[in-house]
Structure 1
Amino acid sequence: MKWHGPLRAKVIWISTMRVCVLGAGVIGLTTAWELAERGYDVTILERRREPAAEASFANGAQLSYAFVAPLACPETLHKLPALMLAAGAPIRIRPTYDPEFIRWGLRFLSACNDRMVTETTRAQLALSALSRSVMADLVEGEELSFGLRTVGKIVLHRSRRSFDAGRLQVERQARLQGSSNQQVLTPSQCLELEPALNLSSDEIAGAIYTPSEQVGDCRLFCQELALRLQQRSNVLWALGTHVRRLITRDNRVCAIETSQGVFDTNLVVLTLGAAAAQFARKSGFRLPVYPMKGYSITARFAHKAASLRHSVTDFEQKIVYAPLKENREEVARVAGIADLVGFDGAIDRRRLAGMTRQAAKLLNLDLESDVRPWAGLRPATPDSRPIIGWSPIRNLFLNTGHGALGWTLACGSARQTVQMITGEQLSVNPGWFALERSA
C-alpha cells in the first residue's frame, strides 16, 4: 500500500532551494544524498571534523530488517526491577531528577504493552522493507563497498520465558507481513547452524533464525557515501561546525547561526541523533529522544578458532555479534548494553569489561591484542520508533530518534523524509513516525 501525501500539506519547491542537513551520521548522509539526487542544493553541517564520528562509528554492524522488536514491551517491563538492581545488568539506569528523562521514562512505561508492540512492529517492518530496497538500489547504482553480506541472523534465547516471547514476536510479524521466513530453532539446531558458539544445548531455550539478514560496516558505508556526495556540485560541506541556534522569522527558519558564521537556508532537516532533543528545546519545542549509551569492541578470532558464519543476538544479554572482514581477515564486531545515564559518552571500563567477558564466553576471540573499544549514544524514543515528520517550526523537518536501528532504517528514513518534503507519494504511513503520535 502507498500512502498519499504528508500529514500536513507541505510541498517544498526545488528551484534554487537551499537545504541544511544538521548532522553527518548515517541518517544525515543518506538524507543529504536523497535530497541532492532530487536537485536540491544541500549544505551538511557537522560539529565533528569527519562524517560518522559518533553513533555511526562502530555500531553493531547488523542490518536487521526482519528483527524489529521494540525495547519497550511487556517482557522488558517484567524484568525492569531486576535490571535496575543488578550491577552487571545489560540495561542500566542512573537515577536522575532530569524532567526530560522522567517524561521519557513515563512514556516508555506506557509503551510496554501488546498493542503498542504490535503498532511499533508494523511500523518498523514497513520502514525496514523500504530501507532494504533503497539500500540495494544505492549499493548497485553507486557501487558502494562496505562489507555488505547476507549472512542470516540468529537470536538466542536463554530462558523459556524469553523464548516464548520471541516466538510470539515471530507470529506477530508473520501476521503483519502475511508471511515470514523466520525459523524457530531448537537448541541443537541452533548449535548445528552456528558451530562457533561456545554453548551447550542446556544453556539455550531456543533461537529464532532469519536467513535474509545482512551485515555491513556502517562507518565504511558513510565514508563511501560521503565520497560520492563530495563529487556533487550541489553539496556543500561544513565539517567542524557547531550549530548554535536557528534564526527564525514568522515561525520559519531563515538562517542558522554556527561557530563558522551564518548559513542562509530555505529548509532544515534535523538529524542530530542524541543531541536532537537538546537542540529542539533551544528552538522552542520538545522531542521525546533520550541518549542510550552502547558499547562495542572489534576483535579478531583466536588462532585456529572457528569464525562466525552468521550474525548473532544474545537476547537476554542485549549483546550482538556480527562477522565482518577487515583487510580480508575475519573479525567480530561485538556491541550491546543499554545505559540510560544522560549525555555521558565516556567509556565506562567496568561496563565494557562486563560485555567483553560475555563475549569471551560465547566466542573464541583474541582479546589480548588489537581490541578496539568504542562507546556511543543512541538516540532512543520511548516506543523505539524514529521521528520522521514536520516539527512545530514550519520549515524544520525531523529525521531522528532511531535508537539501535539507525543503521537498518537509515535509507528508508531518508527516502520517507524526501517524499514528505517534496509531496511525493509516500511509501510508509507517516502517522506511525509523526512527532504527534500517541505515546
Structure 2
Amino acid sequence: MKICVLGAGVIGLTTAWCLAEAGHDVIIVDRHASTAKGASAANGGQLSYAFVAPLASPATLKKLPSLLLSPDAPMRIRAGLDPALISWGARFLLACRPAAVRETVAAQLALAALSRSELARLTQNLMLSFGLRTAGKLVVFRSKREFDAARRAVMPTGEDGGQQVLTPTECLGLEPALRLDAGKLAGGIFTASEQVGDCAAFCAGLTFRLRRQRNVEWVLGTEVVGPVRSSGRLVAVDTGQGPVQADHFVLCMGAASGAFAKACGFYLPIYPLKGYSITLSPAPEARLLRHSVTDMERKLVFAPLVRDGHTPVRVAGIADLESDTQIDPRRVEILRRASAELLGIDTAGDVEPWCGLRPMTPDSRPIIGWSPLDGLFINSGHGMLGWTLACGSARLTADMIDRKRSVAPAGAFALCRAA
C-alpha cells in the first residue's frame, strides 16, 4: 500500500520507518523544510518508561487554582474563552477521576514497555547514535502529601524497573549535583532503569536512514491545506505543492492534528500545551549531573545529555495552554532560576532557549487508531511523553494498519474513549 504520513516529528518519523520496514510505500509530508522542527526539537530528553503519571489527576485538580493564578506557576491558561479549550477542559475534569487515572497509567506503562524494546531494536539495527544511556531517574518531592501518594504507588523492586523510595538525605547522596536543602524535601523515588537521549539527534539519524530507503518519498516545506475526499473516503491531501494521493493517511501533526481533524469533519480532543526548555553547558569545575531529575512540585525536568563529547544539561518544563509559539522571557527565567537553585549552574550567560507545542489529550493518553473518516489513521496526542512513547506508538500503528496483533492494548488509545 501507499501510505502518507502527515508530520515529520519523532512520531511521524518512527511511524514512517515502521511502515516502510513492513514493505509499504511511504510519503512523508511536513510544513517545515527539515524534520523534527516542532515539539521534537528540544524536549526534556527523558525517556520515562516507569513514571507515566497523567497531568489529569485528583492531585492536579486540587492544586488547579494555585497553578493557574500564580505568575510563576508551572501551568497557565492564556487562550481566553476558546470554545475548543472549554470542550477540552470539561474532558480534562472527567479524566481527573481516580478510575480514569488508573486506566491511563496501566495503558501508558504497557505502551512505554513496547516503546523501550522498539527503541532498542531500532538503535541496534540502524546503529543510531543520539546519546542514549540508562542514567536512572530521580523524582524529588517537596510536598509530603504528593510524596506519600507516590510512595504508595511504587511497585515492589523488579516489577517496574526497580523503583526505590528515598529519604531527603538519600536523594542528595544519590545525586551530588543537587544543591537542595534536605529540610525542604519530603523524599524521592529513584528508578534505575530510566533512560535519557537527545530526541533531535535521534530524529536526524532516523531521517538519514529514511532518505536511503527506496520506498520513502518526501514532501517537505509545504503546508497541508486540507483533505480531499471522495465517496466518504480520504483519497488525498491538498498541499502547497499540489495534491498528495495515497491509499491510507496517518495523522502525526502534533498540536496541528486537531485543526486537520476538524477539516475532515470530526472532533479530535487535542489541545496545545506550550512547553519550554533551555540547554546549559556547566562549567568544567561543576559537579556533573549523573541522573535525570524531576522536580515534581515545579513540574521541571533536568536531563544530562551527551553531545559531541560534551555533557550539556537540558532543563524543561512549563505547561501553558496556548497556541502561540513565541518565547516568553519570563517563562525562560523560571528555568534559569531553577537551574541555579537546584544545580548551582550559572545561567547569566547564553543559554539555548526553546519552546514548542505539545499535543495534549485530556487524559494524557495518545490517540492511536482509525478515525471516523475512512482512510485516515490517527497517531497523535502524546503530550509530554512523545519522546518516550514514539517507537511503541509507531509499532502499534503499523500493526493495526496491517491488522496484526500487538502487545499494547490498542483499545485503550482509541478515539472513542476520549470523545
Which band: TM-score by shorter chain?
over 0.9
Deviations, residues 40-83 of structure 1 (Å, cap 9, x unaligned) = 11000000011000100000000000110001001100100111
Per-residue deviation, 1:425: 1.2
**Contact 1:69-1:169 at 8 Å conserved across structures:** no
The equivalent of 1:3 in structure 2 is none
**Contact 1:300-1:366 at 8 Å conserved across structures:** no
The equivalent of 1:5 in structure 2 is none
The equivalent of 2:68 in structure 1 is 84
**Contact 1:301-1:364 at 8 Å conserved across structures:** no
**Contact 1:313-1:320 at 8 Å conserved across structures:** yes
**Contact 2:161-2:193 at 8 Å conserved across structures:** no
The equivalent of 2:116 in structure 1 is 132
Cα distance in 1 between the residues matched to 2:206 and 2:308: 20
**Contact 2:303-2:313 at 8 Å conserved across structures:** yes
Equivalent of 1:308, from 279, 289, 314?
289
Cα distance in 2 between the residues matched to 1:166 and 1:189: 17
Amino acid of the residue matched to residue 321 of structure 2?
L
**Contact 1:156-1:315 at 8 Å conserved across structures:** yes
Structure 2 residue 49 is matched with structure 1 residue 65: yes
Give 3-state SS (helix, strand or coil) of 1:92's partner: strand
Structure 2 residue 100 is matched with structure 1 residue 119: no
Structure 2 residue 351 is matched with structure 1 residue 371: yes
The equivalent of 1:382 in structure 2 is 362
The equivalent of 1:75 in structure 2 is 59
**Contact 2:275-2:318 at 8 Å conserved across structures:** yes
**How high is the TM-score relative to the length of structure 1?**
0.93
Per-residue deviation, 1:438: 4.9
Mind listing any 5+ residue stretches in structure 2 that lack a counterpart? none
**Contact 2:339-2:347 at 8 Å conserved across structures:** no
Equivalent of 1:431, from 408, 411, 418?
411
Give 3-state SS (helix, strand or coil) of 1:141's partner: helix
The equivalent of 1:297 in structure 2 is 278
Amino acid of the residue matched to residue 49 of structure 2?
Y
Moved more, 374-383 or 425-434: 425-434
The equivalent of 1:407 in structure 2 is 387
**Contact 2:56-2:96 at 8 Å conserved across structures:** yes
RMSD: 1.3
Cα distance in 1 between the residues matched to 2:379 and 2:153: 27
**Contact 1:381-1:401 at 8 Å conserved across structures:** yes
Structure 2 residue 313 is matched with structure 1 residue 327: no
Moved more, 87-96 or 186-195: 87-96
Amino acid of the residue matched to residue 232 of structure 1?
Q
Structure 2 residue 148 is matched with structure 1 residue 164: yes
Cα distance in 2 between the residues matched to 1:235 and 1:152: 36
Cα distance in 2 between the residues matched to 1:74 and 1:68: 15
Cα distance in 2 between the residues matched to 1:301 and 1:183: 28
Percent of aligned pairs sharing the same letter: 56
**Contact 2:235-2:375 at 8 Å conserved across structures:** no
Give 3-state SS (helix, strand or coil) of 2:416's partner: coil
Give 3-state SS (helix, strand or coil) of 2:386's partner: helix
Per-residue deviation, 1:222: 0.3
Moved more, 93-102 or 196-205: 93-102
**Contact 1:303-1:366 at 8 Å conserved across structures:** no
**Contact 2:224-2:238 at 8 Å conserved across structures:** yes
Give 3-state SS (helix, strand or coil) of 1:355's partner: helix
The equivalent of 2:134 in structure 1 is 150
Structure 1 runs (4+) deviating above 6 angstroms are none
The equivalent of 1:6 in structure 2 is none
Per-residue deviation, 1:203: 1.2
Cα distance in 2 between the residues matched to 1:294 and 1:179: 28
